[in-house]
Structure 1
Amino acid sequence: MAHVTLANLPLINLRRKPFRTAALVTVVTMLTVAFYGGSMLSMNLQAGLNSMQERMGADLMVTPQNSKSEAEALLTNGSTSTFYFTNSIENQVSKVDGIAQVTAQTYISSLAASCCDEKVQIIGFNPDTDFVITPWIASQFEGMLKRGQAIAGAGVNVSSSGTVRLYGHKFPVVAQLASTGTSLDNSVFVNMETVPDVVSYSAQAGHTAIPERYADKAVSSVLIKVEEGYSARQVAANIAKQTGLKGLGYVYPGGITSTTKGNLTVIVRYIVLFVIVFWLMGLVVLLAVFSSAMNERKREFATYRILGATRPVLAGIVMRESLMIGAAGGVIGIVAASLAILPFSTLIGRQLQLPYLQTNISRTLALIAISLAFAVLTGLVSSAASAVRLSSPETYRTLREGE
């Protein structure tokens, strides 16, 4: 039999009552999962929103009028779409008052079929004029993107040979970008010279993306950065007035960001409310269990008193037991929540249909430390009433009742 000391007595007591110990650890584990998991989700959503704001370098997008909703979905939830103008409007738009920079992009949705590795958004852009994608790409890829080459987003599966197959053709991938938590992660970027090639491959695969007569001039959107002193809506009004073009749709990325932020705020509030209510309920359960255990252990504490244990020693035993329970529940809860969240970040983002980006390692480690401290503190708080009772002057009389 192991030698019993004050140092190992709390651990021995917990082992002596395995069912009660397991029940207490389970409650703390559930509270930790709620706190750590809820906090992690909130942090990742905020990181995704910040990334989305950084990547939306345009103040205004001009699209075909009947494709406005598709353009908004492309910016937010990663839905793939193919839409385009049949006439070139970039030059006309660029001459409108209030425009500082302008560039065009072409969007083509690949297929989830045998002709393609997976369904992704193909984005054709002009590196010479682009001010939205190019600065982000330049931070990870040095050089000029050539015709026939592609740059893959973080969520695109690139083969071991460094290619991605779209419409039956293998495009060499010269770089794969870091995760942004936005729809760009499931996109493949090519320069405008490659767009006619993509259209040709789609026709050969039997799924013509764009009529080939428009392949070299199809434009899905014109992205605009407005001059200082102008608002995006003023510039949109100028475009309608000065160009005389009909059937245009206007998308305001700033408004989309604001709406997304509002939706995110609501979700975070519900998460915080859930964690608070769940924690209060768990704390009540722990207080009840510790109080019940206190009554059951009267004879045990009376024996300690007979052996010479002081009131602070008895209180210390209870507090150390709760500390061990809190630490065990905290570690198990953190591990369980991490296994449920970290490997499935992409899936969670798709289900929420909001920008979702795994926060950096330093913040994750800080959250783990805080969550562990939260679990330990929860255990200590729940046993505090019992410890106070044991250290009160009336304790001796109470313990005598158990003799």
Structure 2
Amino acid sequence: MNWNLTRTVSPLKSLAVGLSVAALMGATPTSAQDPFKVGMVLVGPMQDGGWSQAHVQGSEYVKAQLPGVEFDYLDKVNPADRPNVRASQVADDMIAQGARVIIFTSDDHKDDAVETARRHPEIAVIHASGDMAWPEGKNYIEQPNLANIMPQMEEMRMVAGCAAALGSETGKIGMLGPLINDETRRYAAAAYLGAKYCWDTYRDRPEELEFRVTWIGFWFNIPGVTLDPTKVADDFYNGGFDVVMSALDTPEAAVQGKRAAEAGQRVRYTGYGLATGCDFAPDICLGVSYYNWGPGYKELIEAAKAGTFESQFVRPPIDWSDINNPDTSSAGFVIGDALGAEERAKLEEFIAGLGNGSIELFKGPLNFQDGTPFLAEGEVASEADIWYLGQLLEGMDGASN
């Protein structure tokens, strides 16, 4: 079967543990003359202004760095846009057309990634956002040709939260949340911790911070299935929330914020996923936390080409000396025009504190939303504590499950 794949051809360290699969994959490096095909399965539109587009940009980086690499893409691989198409079926077709690496780009594809890796042991399978290749994780599966990759976005969500607090006049911050799982809970909690710290530390305001998350039910709008993110954003802006933080793959926080501002409201937003997220409404953008998938993908694809690909759980680092360096930082934050010079200086101070360790936000005492203890006084959360965050935190308004 053929899914009308989109192909572009261009001439143009991490936590990693696991088993080598050189023998399974033939252990024969591809010659420099042969095209090396990579299939990328995208959950949303290629140009969604967020998550999926960031993965496409990562592939462009790889092609520029590794001449001879070709990418095939199929986007909108999700139950709403392609209800009868499984991501593993798409991968099978890509492999039949010569792909040597398959990249699945959504937590929604985790079962498909495992199925593909098992069915095609000679193919390198990369799953963005999962943890099946993490031996210390709860979902570990011993599969030599399967790797996970996920940048350390928690830190940049803290930065976004700080920017939101610095840009708010009401102390009411709303978040457009996708579906509820470990990933989205930890990102929302990180944003809250950043906002709380910067509201309490840098703002001379008597109001208590109000931080509310409204989950729409998926990573983007599915009419008739999810809440309408346009309406949710409008409800925030019209309900006194003067900053809306996006945690979606799509830019409703920016689009509706621009309309509210044009109608005379004093509103701001933070973007998510794509470095150009402020371009939708630059005058009211406080900043955007974004992914830089390119260097991590390059390293894994290079290994696949050389026959040295191995199962690993990769968390590419943030380069705190330059968080927006395209070659060295897996996640960054672009400060928006809506943040004034004084607030920008405070945000940069906060970023420096995260980088040198003087600011540690996942540190006790912290309670879960229901009041039960999460971290005792002075206790610092482990990577697993944060990765598998089971509830939102005390002080946050919104559903935990």
Structure number with the bigger relative contact order (C-alpha 8 A, sep ≥ 6) is 1
Greater Rg over alpha carbons, structure: 1
**If the TM-score is normalised by the length of the shorter chain, which range does it land in?**
under 0.3
* More strand as a share of residues: 2
* More helix as a share of residues: 1
